[in-house]
Amino acid sequence: MSDLIATVRPDGRLADQLRPVRFQRDIAPHATGSVLVEFGNTRVICAVTIEESVPRWMKEQKVEGGWLTAEYSMLPYSTLDRKARDISKLKLDGRSQEIQRLIGRSLRAVVDLEKLGPRTVWVDCDVLQADGGTRTASITGSYVALEQAFRRLIAQGKIAASPFRHAVAAISCGVHEGRVILDLNYIEDSAASVDMNVVASDDGKFIEIQASGEEATFSDTQLAEMLGVARKGIHQLFEAQQQALIER
């Protein structure tokens, strides 16, 4: 572990060090809750809106409570080369679809949907600037936006208590040049031999782990190291989330 900590990266960070994390609340005035989250140069707007109805399938199946779903998109100017909008192709690209499903699963894992009542919560994540870790920033920022939205629903008398069971946060890690590192930026991510995303709740349990070798394999030892640095980073993200929620 001492070798891991001593590894200095091109941006000056240690191997197990997060990029600067910032939250700017109420970035979208018409949303019930919103935040601009920044992981270094990755910047994502996470906004929550509420519909006082549930999807048709819930009505037909007589499912109690509410529903929470997410949408994710990268704005055309979020990358160095312009990214065409999905609407221009008349379909959602596979990557965006996979990420928004991950965001939705991660949030539903920590929300008691019955406490929502018969309403739908929409979480929209729009990437303003992409420099690696957009999905993990989206999940981490969405928690802050959702907590704001739930507090407002309580203040309006629409729900009695917060539907959150736990806080949720996510971070990336991987193997780059033979070493385990935390919170990869784009340059590191594009050259990593192993890429991993970890989503966890604040009771120490994992919600989802995505790990893959990029034309490479990884060992039990490397897997354990990645999970170790991910746990450390996620703990720091929980602290940053709570600080953002108490700041005016």
User: Model confidence over 130-157: pLDDT tens digits?
Assistant: 999 999 999 999 999 999 999 999 999 9
pLDDT at 6: 57
Helices (H), the chain: 2-6, 56-60, 86-89, 94-108, 134-155, 186-191, 220-246
CATH number at residue 186: 3.30.230.70
Q: What DSSP state is assigned to residue 15? A: T
Q: What integer pLDDT is reported at residue 88 of this predicted model?
A: 60
Q: In what order do the strands lie in the sheet with 194-201?
A: 179-182, 168-176, 194-201, 206-213
For residues 178-192, average pLDDT: 94
For the chain, the helix, strand and coil percentages under 3-state DSSP, each to the nearest 5:
35, 30, 35
Mean pLDDT along residues 88-92: 65
pLDDT attached to residue 13: 94
The structural domain count of the chain equals 1
Question: What residues are paired with 24 via a beta bridge?
Answer: 36
Average pLDDT, the chain: 92
Residue range(s) defining the domain that contains residue 111: 2-246
pLDDT at 24 over 90: yes
Model confidence pLDDT, tens digit, residues 35-62: 999 999 999 999 999 999 999 999 999 9
Say how far apart CA 192 and CA 177 lie, in whole Å. 7
Q: pLDDT-based confidence at 1, cuts 50/70/90?
A: very low
Q: Count of alpha carbons within 13 Å of 212, Cβ hemisphere only?
A: 4
Residue 2: per-residue pLDDT: 44
- The residue with tokens 């109690």 is 64
Q: Which residues contact 87 (CB under 8 A, 6 or more apart)?
A: none
How crowded is the C-beta side of 187, counted as CA atoms within 13 Å? 5
**Separation of alpha carbons 121 and 149, rounded Å:** 9
Mean pLDDT confidence for 84-101 = 79
Report phi then psi at 179, rounded to 5.
-120, 145
Nearest by Cα to 226 from 209, 238, 241, 240: 209
Q: What is the pLDDT of residues 95-138, one digit of tens each?
A: 889 999 999 999 999 999 999 999 999 999 999 999 999 999 99
Question: Measured between alpha carbons, how far is 15 from 182 in angstroms, rounded to an integer?
Answer: 6
Mean pLDDT value across residues 14-28: 96
- Burial label for 16, CB within 10 Å (0-12, 13-18, 19+), is buried
CA 114 to chain CA mean position, Å: 23
Cα 206 to Cα 12: distance, rounded to the nearest angstrom: 29
pLDDT bracket for residue 93 (50, 70, 90): confident
Q: pLDDT tens for residues 194-239?
A: 999 999 999 999 999 999 998 899 999 999 999 999 999 999 999 9
Residue 153 CA from chain centroid, whole number: 22
Say if residues 138 and 84 touch (Cβ distance below 8 Å).
no
